[in-house]
Structure 1
């Protein structure tokens, strides 16, 4: 009788397991690691940027992404450096996607400006994402950069015509590094949210003609010089602002 009872219980357990399917480990719902973390120097700040993961660890569409933690550590001499030491990294920014504050979302990447840096020091970054339930991703790829003294701001001027605005700029004297060109930025009036980079690659000539304009709209322009310092591009301080709009035809 007891043997028969045990067989029935066993069959019931097998049937129940068949209905539920295989168990899914909780960690498989965690976000997949952030990829393509990068760092650039603009003026005296490092701009750390990364795309959001779209999948969880099991490859399913990621749900309930809540934010990121940005970690930074100084890179020490080889005989002292310790990537895995528990005190190596410091959290320099926790990003809450509901209240991102000074972290911007631009060109499908989150961008954090890290300004608490010392010239001559190399810094390394990593990012961890987390869901609303607190589950965390593994760490992203590492990105490192040496902090250098950035070039000072160039001087910018503008001349308006009936079909375009022509910008010209001059770098300040004593600029360090090898000149690469300049990036040109524009926004519509005072609306900072409309800021766009007009030149995907640095402009080698020290002038730029903007032909993509609407009549009656005032535009605000700035430029940043780009120099090569020890093989790394560095952007200068931002230039003065100039305003331009299409001149009325005579």
Structure 2
């Protein structure tokens, strides 16, 4: 055998064994990178709204390390139901089951909203409903559960009927009737009212601060010229729970300023070298736009407007009179509403025109 060839074989074998010895060394366990999870939700709330159950909670902003949470992907909603007939059975309490996987999306270029709201539209049977929420990240790491909330649910009461709205200046009056089936109903707990604008949904919080026991309500937090929609819902108080029924027929209206300013107080009219001067006291109406001056002849029944809109002054000079005739002057006030409501005529002031 060639000596060089034999040495080359031994050298190759040496490197081969060396590689094997390095490759077969003892390996350390893989290092798993730490993945923070969202802090648990602690303010889960439960309501009865619109004939079903509504949950509301704050969106977690921090992770378990106290840093800003940047990879929140969604929420898991867990529910447990105990039928009424099994409430007294200590061994009949089932486990919580996953009700809904709710994705969370942050709007492009902006922060997400502060609260999440979920309507459980799978509430049908009478009994006790319990819920808790957990969140998960984009890496499917789930947080611990939130606080548990409970509600005893039973079929709600029917909504009010014949709901009517009457608009006025920055006010909407609502009136309704209760269905005959609620006559003598001991569980009836009043009415809740909800309002929305044209581009909004109804909030989970009613417009009224406490249940309404009358059949009317006045909404004084409206803006003239904006369209509003309303629904009413009946409340049922039973077993320590307040249950809200379904919507009444929706009604809508637009409040408008239809109230004219106060009638001006015309104080003086006389003829000067420049013409006939009409003077009045300034109005104090907050939405005052200005004034108009009117005039009629002695034998005329209808007064005619003779001035443009007078915005600042409380005096007007009439140069269009005819000497030798008698005139009667009056003043009206105009507001800034879209309707430009005009007041009644002031008392008339008489002037017998003479040649200058």
Calculate the TM-score normalised by the size of structure 1: 0.75
Cα distance in 1 for residues equivalent to 2:46 and 2:170: 38
Give the alignment partner of residue 34 of structure 1, picking from 19, 28, 41: 41
Measured after TM superposition, the shift of residue 188 of structure 1 is 2.2
Please show how residues 75-90 of structure 1 align to structure 2 within 5 Å: 75=82, 77-82=89-94, 88-90=95-97
Aligned to 1:249: 259
- Contact 1:177–1:229 (8 Å) recurs in 2: no
How many angstroms apart in 1 are the aligned matches of 2:124 and 2:234?
Answer: 21
Q: In structure 2, how many angstroms separate the alpha carbons of the residues matched to 1:145 and 1:117?
A: 11
Give the aligned CA root-mean-square deviation in angstroms: 2.8
Q: TM-score, normalised by structure 2?
A: 0.54
The 5 Å alignment of 1:111-122 reads: 111-122=117-128
Q: Deviations over 1:139-198 (max 9, x none)?
A: 111112222010111122111223411011222233355333322211223x23476742
- Distance in 2, Cα, partners of 1:171 & 1:95: 38
In structure 2, stretches of 5+ residues that fail to align are: 1-30, 261-356
1:123 aligns with 2:135: no
Deviation at 1:202, TM superposition (A): 2.6
1:135-174 correspondence runs (5 A): 135-155=141-161, 156-174=163-181
How many residues are matched?
A: 216
Q: Looking at both structures, which has the greater relative contact order when contacts are Cα pairs under 8 Å and sequence separation is at least 6?
A: 1
Change (3 A) 1:188 1:118: closer
Candidates 105, 124, 134, aligned match of 1:98: 105
User: After the TM superposition, which of the residue ranges 113-122 and 235-244 deviates more from structure 2?
Assistant: 113-122
Give SS of 1:57's match. Answer: coil
For the residues of structure 2 that align with 1:55 and 1:148, how far apart are their CA atoms?
38
Any idea what SS the aligned residue of 2:133 has? strand
**For the pair shown, which has the larger CA radius of gyration, 1 or 2?**
2
State how far apart, in whole Å, the 1-side matches of 2:221 and 2:181 are. 34
Q: 1:173 to 1:144 in 2, by over 3 A?
A: same
Tell me whether 1:47 sits opposite 2:59 in the alignment. Answer: no
1:42/1:150 contact within 8 Å kept: no
Residue 96 of structure 1: CA displacement? 0.9
Q: Which runs of 5+ in 1 are unaligned?
A: 1-22, 83-87
1:177 & 1:234 partners in 2: Cα distance?
14
- Whether the aligned pair in 1 keeps the contact of 2:158 and 2:246 (CA below 8 Å) is yes
The Cα of 1:24 is off from its aligned counterpart by: 11
Matched, 1:66 2:73: yes
